[in-house]
Amino acid sequence: MERNNTLLEPVIEIARQAGEQIRTIYEHGQYQEITKSDNTPVTSADLAAHELIVAALAKLAPEIPILSEEDADIPLSDRQAWGRYWLIDPLDGTQEFIAGSGDFAVNIALIDNHVPVMGVVYAPISKVCYFAGKGLGAFKRANGINSPIHSREAALVDEEMVIAVSRRQRLEAVIDLLEPGRNYRFVPFGSASLKSCMVAEGEADVYLRLGPTGEWDTGASQCIVEQAGGRILDIDLQPLSYNERESLENPNYLVMGAPTLPWREILQHA
Ligand SMILES: Nc1ncnc2c1ncn2[C@@H]1O[C@H](COP(=O)(O)O)[C@@H](OP(=O)(O)O)[C@H]1O
Ligand SMILES: [Mg+2]
């Protein structure tokens, strides 16, 4: 565990450098865009960040293999021998990058024996970095200052429950899952990882994600959320898996700040 945590500071710097590169491209507005086979967009900014991160991680720790959203076509038969590997999403929130909302982030996780043990999420526009190491806690770095972060305690039954949701999904699909009669407030925000970090720092009680995402969308933020006191589980309240299936697609999931809330009742229509 200690060995993993010595990698944290260099990885934060790699995420920052990739984020700076993304921010420069974003501000100049000069990038190419193509549609991938899963019908999601990828830009030259995603690919530039991918190249930077892969080169820097290979230099930092040549023995650790890398799985990136932008180079993910590696069969399980090759991946299953990996004890530790880097799981990266060079640009989480590509559609937000294109739309100009500013809600996007660089994600780098270290997975050890199928468990995220290190997570770094860097938001290039706010220049805020969320990071965590297993057994170390979760932190937010802004203006060079680290602050420990903690998810929110269980809200009382009649208190407002703040729910982070994608900007690009039908809100009705989320509302349909929820137990009626509670006081919900929905906060649309871009980038799956930044919404998870909202829960980790207590800005939201829960993030409900319906629809496709990849293991790279949750690896880094799962470590941050867990170290902050929360959990990421699928909608049946089972753990997400890493590098255990041929497909890298996640099931629907929820990021909960307070694991002790009665989630089975709250998600009664799931
Ligand atoms: N049709 C689809 N197939 C696969 N993943 C999708 C998807 N639509 C959205 N996503 C995932 O949701 C993430 C964005 O979340 P949000 O909608 O909350 O901004 C995307 O991250 P990327 O931008 O890295 O591809 C992508 O991984
Ligand atoms: Mg991406």
Cβ(250) to ligand 1 under 6 A? Answer: no
Ligand nearest to the backbone CA of 253: 1
Is 168 touching ligand 1 by the criterion CB < 6 Å? yes
Whose C-alpha lies nearest to ligand 1, atom 27?
A: 213
pLDDT in the model for residue 17: 98
What pLDDT, on the 0 to 100 scale, is given for residue 117?
98
ipTM for this model: 0.91
Using CA atoms, how far residue 257 sits from 73, 102, 228, 260, in Å, is 33, 24, 8, 9
**C-alpha distances in angstroms, 252 versus 91, 208, 239?**
20, 8, 11
Q: Is the CB of 96 under 6 A from ligand 1?
A: yes
pLDDT at 159: 84
Write down the pLDDT at residue 270. Answer: 65
* Bridging pattern class, strands 41-43 and 33-35: antiparallel
Q: Report how far residue 65's alpha carbon sits from residue 151's, in angstroms, rounded to the nearest whole number.
A: 31
User: Which helix H or strand E contains 109, and what residues bound it?
Assistant: strand 105-112
Q: Say if residue 234 carries a ligand binding annotation.
A: no
Residue nearest to atom 5 of ligand 1 (CA): 213
190 Cβ below 6 A of ligand 1: yes
CA of 179 to the centre of ligand 2 (A): 32
DSSP code of residue 27: H
Which structural domains are found in the chain, ordered by start? 2-148 (3.30.540.10), 161-266 (3.40.190.80)
Report residue 116: phi and psi, to 5°: -70, 120
Using one digit for the tens of pLDDT, what is the confidence trace for 177-188?
999 988 999 999
* Closest among 180, 184, 189, 192 to 162, alpha carbons compared: 184
Burial of 177 (0-12, 13-18, 19+ CB in 10 A): middle
CA of 213 to the centre of ligand 1 (A): 5
For residue 88, how far is its CA from the centre of ligand 2 (angstroms)?
8
pTM here is: 0.96
pLDDT the model gives residue 238: 97
Quick one: pLDDT at residue 268?
A: 79
Question: What pLDDT, on the 0 to 100 scale, is given for residue 244?
Answer: 98
Q: Is 17 helix (H, G, I), strand (E, B) or coil?
A: helix
How close is the Cα of 92 to the center of ligand 2, in Å? 4
Matching residue, tokens 């820097």: 56
Q: What is the DSSP string of 214-241?
A: BGGGTHHHHHHHHHTT-EEEETTSPBP-
Question: Atom 16 in ligand 1: which residue has the minimum CA distance?
Answer: 191
Residue 75 to residues 42, 85, 162, 216, Cα–Cα distance (Å): 22, 14, 39, 16
Residue-level pLDDT, tens digit, the chain, 270 residues: 557 789 999 999 999 999 999 999 999 999 999 999 889 999 999 999 999 999 999 999 999 999 999 999 999 999 999 999 999 999 999 999 999 999 999 999 999 999 999 999 999 999 999 999 999 999 999 999 999 999 998 766 678 999 999 999 899 999 999 999 889 999 999 999 999 999 999 999 999 999 999 999 999 999 999 999 999 999 999 999 999 999 999 999 999 999 999 999 999 776
